[in-house]
Chains A and B, each alone.
Chain A
């Protein structure tokens, strides 16, 4: 955990934990995001919706410092971020945690390395405190994730784990580093129903704990259930926003289907 973080979050006077202003993102000829304004309140769960390729993952990668936007600004806790300085590391220091879509663990590496890579507990000269990292990893596996009795230890490699267990590790990693903003990009893929409930309960816990979350999932019912606000992306643009209760699940579903069909008919 970073040194700067506690001080920053002690100043609870910010309005938006993160805000994107007129963000553009292009990959060669592909315009993944155009003129996106997007904000997440201090204690808000924002559900991000959109078809495949709408730009959801691109958006959250900008939030988490993986991608640098082609244009536009990123604000964290109402402070503008220097695009040259903003990185995954910086986002971690600013207490933004992300569970990315798809593979987020080094498969051949042991779990303890996966939990701490990128922000190792180090002693002098950058050498890792292996004993401490393993200790914390073992505690985490037993308490937070409940891997008791599965024969999974800090030394197990990711290859030994099932898809759901891997997702559990990725989420536990984000939980451990107690962020102000937790970004979840399709965290329930590969999870059994009971595990999905756990993830949704976790999001509700984030809300109850006074923190914020960006939640991406294709199951509209789940997003509708947990989100305080829904933001709909289509072909890189924000095309709709709804506060909780403003739109019923049935209407939301109809709207997403219409978007999808409009898109296929447009031939895009």
Chain B
């Protein structure tokens, strides 16, 4: 019996479906290429320990990109909030204060970004590039360029709650998935998320339908700051140490995770399910490729290929107009080649010039 058209359509429209398929395909490829590693559970536990900071960052950035904005300053929040956590936990003797102050610091950085972008009107790519330098630099000043080792930190209850293990299972995986789940609800079911989508779609339209564009943008940047701080806490606790360069590698990976997941770079459309899958793809590909014995420098190239394939896949599935335009263009080219082949089309070709 043929599958009814509507059911097929609904299945294809399931949020993040193509990218989930890519993720599963990758797992299968790795299982075949490196069965010793990928048929055991350890490698997956290791992903679940290392992907959460990336996932939290990517999920938060998804909302900001939905609103048509970008944040390039979150790597500095990872450094700054990590330092705040380490320093104040040490000075005040309680990681709870450290956590609280780290989140506050992230929120303040986000608030400043929001003011610069929404109130003063600096484009977010420029404003957050500047604040990235500012806070990154200040963190090095605060920490005097030193790294802190937090050897005893796993004695704290808070550490157990945030990055402890249930058997082999890392707790931070639950926290990061919970963050992504809540953000999904906010984006898709809450007033605030709807406002962000309309702002990203067309800020002028958002304004005339009664959205307080300035306020909502500031909120979105603050949310990004607070969640970047939370990601930093997970990272710093998991590593049991603070480096003032600890945010550095995240910028491109987080953006890749968001865009692999199918969120539109133009705003107004975003998929958190896609971002979750994209984060695991990014987190997994590197470790996975190394496990298959591929040489290090190949790894990045393969990431690039997966990235491109995913992005093209989204266009093919989600933008049928563009796909058909592409097919038409191909066909026209093919016809042209046929017509201008010997005997047939030299005159036509001259005519076309």
Chain A 85-109: CB-based contact to B (< 8 A → 1; otherwise 0): 0011100100000101001111111
The verdict on A127 contacting chain B, using a C-beta distance below 8 Å, is yes
Q: Which 7 A-B pairs have the closest CB atoms?
A: A118-B210, A88-B210, A106-B201, A118-B209, A108-B268, A126-B191, A106-B198
Task: Answer whether A89 and B202 are a contact pair too, CB < 8 Å, given A126-B191, A127-B190.
Answer: no
Describe B's contact surface by its main secondary structure. Answer: helix
Nearest CB in chain B: distance from A60 CB, A: 11
Question: Contact at B208–A98, with CB atoms within 8 Å?
Answer: yes
CB nearest to A126 among chain B residues: B191
Interface residues of B in 222-261 (CB under 8 A from A): none
The verdict on A148 contacting chain B, using a C-beta distance below 8 Å, is no
Contacts of B197 in A (CB 8 A): 106, 108-109, 113
Q: How many residues of A contact B (CB 8 A)?
A: 28
The verdict on A253 contacting chain B, using a C-beta distance below 8 Å, is no
Question: Contact at A107–B201, with CB atoms within 8 Å?
Answer: yes
The verdict on A66 contacting chain B, using a C-beta distance below 8 Å, is yes
Question: Contact at B210–A87, with CB atoms within 8 Å?
Answer: yes
Tell me the complex Cα distance, A130–B189, Å: 7
Task: Answer whether A88 and B208 are a contact pair too, CB < 8 Å, given A126-B192, A128-B189.
Answer: yes
Question: Contact at A122–B191, with CB atoms within 8 Å?
Answer: yes
Chain B 200-216: CB-based contact to A (< 8 A → 1; otherwise 0): 01101111111110000
**30 contacts across the A-B interface (CB closer than 8 A):** A61-B208, A65-B210, A66-B208, A87-B212, A88-B209, A88-B210, A92-B210, A103-B202, A103-B204, A104-B208, A105-B205, A106-B197, A106-B198, A106-B201, A106-B268, A107-B202, A108-B264, A108-B268, A109-B201, A113-B194, A113-B197, A117-B206, A117-B210, A118-B211, A119-B210, A120-B194, A126-B190, A126-B191, A127-B190, A128-B191
Interface residues of B in 164-192 (CB under 8 A from A): 185, 189-192
Nearest CB in chain A: distance from B70 CB, A: 18
Question: Contact at A108–B189, with CB atoms within 8 Å?
Answer: no
Contacts of A118 in B (CB 8 A): 209-211
Known: A64-B208, A126-B190. 6 other contacts (CB 8 A): A65-B210, A104-B205, A104-B208, A117-B195, A126-B192, A128-B194
Contacts of A61 in B (CB 8 A): 208
Question: Contact at B207–A109, with CB atoms within 8 Å?
Answer: no
Chain A 183-195: CB-based contact to B (< 8 A → 1; otherwise 0): 0000000000000
Contacts of A120 in B (CB 8 A): 191, 194
Tell me the complex Cα distance, A66–B212, Å: 10
Nearest CB in chain B: distance from A15 CB, A: 27
Nearest CB in chain A: distance from B193 CB, A: 9
Nearest CB in chain B: distance from A81 CB, A: 16
Question: Contact at A117–B208, with CB atoms within 8 Å?
Answer: no
CB nearest to B191 among chain A residues: A126
Task: Answer whether A117 and B209 are a contact pair too, CB < 8 Å, given A103-B202, A107-B202, A130-B189.
Answer: yes
Question: Contact at B210–A109, with CB atoms within 8 Å?
Answer: no
The verdict on B217 contacting chain A, using a C-beta distance below 8 Å, is no
Question: Contact at B202–A106, with CB atoms within 8 Å?
Answer: yes
Nearest CB in chain A: distance from B225 CB, A: 21
The verdict on B269 contacting chain A, using a C-beta distance below 8 Å, is yes
Contacts of A108 in B (CB 8 A): 197, 201, 264, 268-269
Contacts of B268 in A (CB 8 A): 106-109
Tell me the complex Cα distance, A108–B67, Å: 12
Question: Contact at A127–B194, with CB atoms within 8 Å?
Answer: no
Question: Contact at A100–B208, with CB atoms within 8 Å?
Answer: yes
Question: Contact at B189–A127, with CB atoms within 8 Å?
Answer: yes
CB nearest to A130 among chain B residues: B189
Tell me the complex Cα distance, A105–B264, Å: 18
Contact pick for B198, options A88, A117, A119, CB 8 Å: A117
Question: Contact at B198–A109, with CB atoms within 8 Å?
Answer: yes
Interface residues of B in 107-165 (CB under 8 A from A): none
Question: Contact at A127–B185, with CB atoms within 8 Å?
Answer: yes
Tell me the complex Cα distance, A6–B325, Å: 51
Contacts of B211 in A (CB 8 A): 117-118
Tell me the complex Cα distance, A92–B185, Å: 27
Tell me the complex Cα distance, A127–B185, Å: 8
Contact pick for A106, options B185, B190, B192, B205, CB 8 Å: B205
CB nearest to B209 among chain A residues: A118
Question: Contact at B210–A89, with CB atoms within 8 Å?
Answer: yes
Nearest CB in chain A: distance from B91 CB, A: 36
Question: Contact at B205–A103, with CB atoms within 8 Å?
Answer: yes
Most chain-A CB neighbours within 10 Å: which of B190, B202, B204, B208? B208
Contacts of B192 in A (CB 8 A): 126
Nearest CB in chain A: distance from B66 CB, A: 10
Nearest CB in chain B: distance from A137 CB, A: 14
Nearest CB in chain B: distance from A36 CB, A: 20
Chain A 39-61: CB-based contact to B (< 8 A → 1; otherwise 0): 00000000000000000000001
Tell me the complex Cα distance, A117–B194, Å: 7
Tell me the complex Cα distance, A192–B207, Å: 28
Tell me the complex Cα distance, A87–B211, Å: 10
